[in-house]
Amino acid sequence: MNFGRTLFSQIMDFIPWSSFSRLVAKYGGDDRVRTLFCTEQLRAMSFAQLTFRESLRDIEACLGAQPTKLYGMGFRNPVARSTLADANELRDWRIWHDLAAILIRRARNLYADDDIGLDLDNTVYALDSTTIDLCLALFPWADFRSTKAAVKMHTLLDLRGPIPSFIHISNGKMGDALALDLITPETGAIYVMDRGYVDFRRLHAFHVAHAFFVTRTKSNMKYHRVYSWPVEKSKGIMADQTVALDGFYTSKDYPEHLRRISFRDPDTGKRLVFMTNNFTLPAETVAALYKKRWQVELFFKWIKQNLRIKHFYGTSENAVKAQIWVAVSVYVLVAIIKKEMALEISLYTFLQILSVRPFEKVQLSSAFLDIDDRSSMPISSNQLNLFET
C-alpha cells in the first residue's frame, strides 16, 4: 500500500533508476558533487514540469513550502535555485537525452499493438519540426535570424501512442530536409511528412532501404505521366498516376517511378496532391495517412501548452537542451503510467490533477478514480486531444 507516500514520489517510481545511475556514471554527472545529485536534479526538474513551475525561484518556493515531505520525495535537503541553476548549466544534457531514449523504448513496446485507425500492419511515423522562439540577447548561441534566436525540435512520431521515436534539437537555421540524414529508415515502415522534406536524393535513400514515404508534391515539380490508374471519384480521388521525374539532377537523384495521387477533400473541397513510393496501398488510404500527420502537430502544441519548454530556467545551450529532454521524458513517463495502470483519463487530465496534488499521500490509482474527464466529450477540431479516451 502506498498511502504513506506522496503522489509525486509514486510517479518517480516509474523511472528506471538503475539505468539512470549507469547514465550518470557514464557522463560523470555526480563527479565532485556534494549537494543536489543527478537523481535530485531529475526529481526537481520533473516536479517543475508536472506542476507547471515557471522559474527556478518558483521551483524553490514550492518545494520549500513542504519541508517535512521533501525526504520522502527523494530530496535530502531543500532545493536552492542557485544550486539547481548550476546543475542545469554544468551537467551534460546527454544524461537526460539517454534517459528519454530508454523511456521511449519502453513506451513504444507498451503501445506497439495500438490501432491508429487504418487497416495497416506497417509502423507509421509522422515527421515534422517545430520552432521554439528565444531572445537573441539571452540565447546568442541559438542562431536563427539577425534579430531573433530559436531552437528547432525535429521529431519523428510513432503514431501508435503517439510516442516520439526520434528527436533532434538544432538551432533555428537547420533545414527540415537535413533531418532525413539523421534517421535510419526502418524496412516496411511508412514515413509521412510535409513538402518541406521533399529532397529526392534523401527520399531515394528511404526507397533503397525498402521504407515508404508519403508527402505532398511541390508546385514546381517537373515530371511526366507514365500510366494512369482507375479511380473512384466518389471517395475524393481525382487521379492516381505513375510518374517519372524530369530534369537532369532530379532524375538522377530519384531514378525510380513515383506515384502521384490527386485528392479533393469532400468536406472542405480543398485539393491536395500526394507523392509516394508505395504502389500497393489504396489511394484513399494514402490520403488518410497524410491526414494522420496532424498528430505530430498536436504533439508539438500539446507539449508547448502543457510542459515547460517555452520558459527556460537557464540560458546556456546545455541548460536549454537539458530542460527540453526532461520535458520529453516526463511526457513519455506519463504515457507509460497511463498505459501500465490502464487509466481511463486523458493525458491533460492526468497532469492537471497531479499539478495540484503532488504532496498528497494517497494511492496513485485511487487519485484518478471518479474523475469527470471532460476531454472525452466531443470537442472542436482546434482543441488538443492527444491520448483521447
Write the pLDDT tens digit of every residue in 231-253: 888 888 999 999 999 988 999 99
| Residue 130, pLDDT score | 92
Residue 347: which pLDDT band, with cuts at 50, 70 and 90?
confident
Say which residues have a Cβ less than 8 Å from residue 379's Cβ, sequence separation at least 6: 385
Residue 378: which pLDDT band, with cuts at 50, 70 and 90?
very low
| Residue 387, pLDDT score | 46
Percent of the chain at pLDDT above 90?
57
Q: Which residues of 17-49 are buried (b: 16+ CB within 10 A; e: fewer)?
A: eeebeebbeebebbeebeebbbbbbbbbbbbbb
| Residue 48, pLDDT score | 92
Distance CA(37)–CA(33), nearest Å, equals: 7
For β-strands 212-216 and 190-193, DSSP reports them as parallel
Residue 375: which pLDDT band, with cuts at 50, 70 and 90?
very low
Residue 383 has pLDDT above 60, yes or no: no
Work out the average pLDDT over 297-320.
87
Distance CA(273)–CA(294), nearest Å, equals: 17
Please choose, from the candidates 279, 294, 326, 296, the residue with its C-alpha nearest in 3D space to the C-alpha of residue 97: 326
Distance CA(271)–CA(288), nearest Å, equals: 14
| Residue 380, pLDDT score | 42
Q: DSSP states of 154-173 as a string?
A: EEEEETTTTEEEEEEEEETT
Q: What is the tally of helices (H) and strands (E) in the chain?
A: 12, 10
Please choose, from the candidates 76, 78, 55, 57, the residue with its C-alpha nearest in 3D space to the C-alpha of residue 66: 78
Work out the average pLDDT over 161-190.
91
Q: What is the DSSP letter of 343?
A: -
Domains of the chain listed by start with CATH number? 7-96+313-376 (no CATH), 206-280 (2.20.25)
Please choose, from the candidates 142, 199, 194, the residue with its C-alpha nearest in 3D space to the C-alpha of residue 173: 142
Residues 76-120: pLDDT tens digits? Answer: 999 999 999 999 999 999 999 999 999 999 999 999 888 888 888
- Mean pLDDT (the chain, rounded): 88
Distance CA(201)–CA(159), nearest Å, equals: 26
Residue 372: which pLDDT band, with cuts at 50, 70 and 90?
low
| Residue 234, pLDDT score | 82
Q: Are 155 and 176 in contact (CB under 8 A)?
A: no
Residues 32-62: pLDDT tens digits? Answer: 888 899 999 999 999 999 998 889 999 999 9
Distance CA(212)–CA(320), nearest Å, equals: 34
Q: Identity (one letter) of the amino acid at 25?
A: A
Residue 374 has pLDDT above 60, yes or no: no
Residue 371: which pLDDT band, with cuts at 50, 70 and 90?
low
pTM as predicted: 0.87
| Residue 3, pLDDT score | 58
